[in-house]
Amino acid sequence: MLFKGVPASGDVLACWSVQAGGLETGEGYEQAARRELFEETGIVAEELGPVVLERTVRFTWDGVEFDQTEHYFVVRTSVQEISSDRWTEEERQVIVEHRWWTVDELRKRQRTSFRRNSPVWSNRCHDEATPC
């Protein structure tokens, strides 16, 4: 599942990205991943797959510079519909589209459709036609 976002400031073009968020006090990366997945999609992750990528990035979003460490987990689900009931006001304003992608679709479009250096596809996500 990827979200297409357009910042309110218009300082960057719309881009596709994974669900994201920060750690809350006392929270580990796995706990944060489960919480953010639920808040942004309504999906309860019964099982998280392995961390497929860890990286530190610096980027600007809506005029604010971020310097953060990211951990990416594989999550598989049979749920197709997502819920926006728990979205923040900012998420409601900037998210303009969302959709499921297969690994093959990500491979074909990664070079032209995603933010530079975006880790939306990884060899460790497995070579399956199942959306992830």
pLDDT, one tens digit per residue, over 15-44 is 777 778 889 999 999 999 999 999 999 999
CATH classification at residue 23: 3.90.79.10
Please tell me the distance from the alpha carbon of residue 83 to that of residue 81, in angstroms, as a whole number.
7
Cβ pair 80, 64 in contact under 8 A: no
On whether residue 35 sits in a domain, the answer given is yes
Cβ pair 68, 61 in contact under 8 A: no
Mean pLDDT across the stretch 85-103? 87
On whether residue 111 sits in a domain, the answer given is yes
Print the domain residue range for 102. Answer: 2-125
The rounded mean pLDDT for the chain is: 78
On whether residue 131 sits in a domain, the answer given is no
Cross-strand partners of 67 = 58
Q: Which of 97, 104, 121 minimizes the C-alpha distance to 15?
A: 97
Judged against a pLDDT cut of 60, whether residue 54 lies above it is answered with yes
Share of the chain above pLDDT 70, in %: 78
Domain count, the chain: 1
DSSP string, 58-116: EEEETTEEEEEEEEEE----S------TT--HHHHHHEEEEE---HHHHHHHHHHHB-T
44 vs 113, residue with greater confidence: 44
On whether residue 87 sits in a domain, the answer given is yes
Mean pLDDT across the stretch 9-20? 73
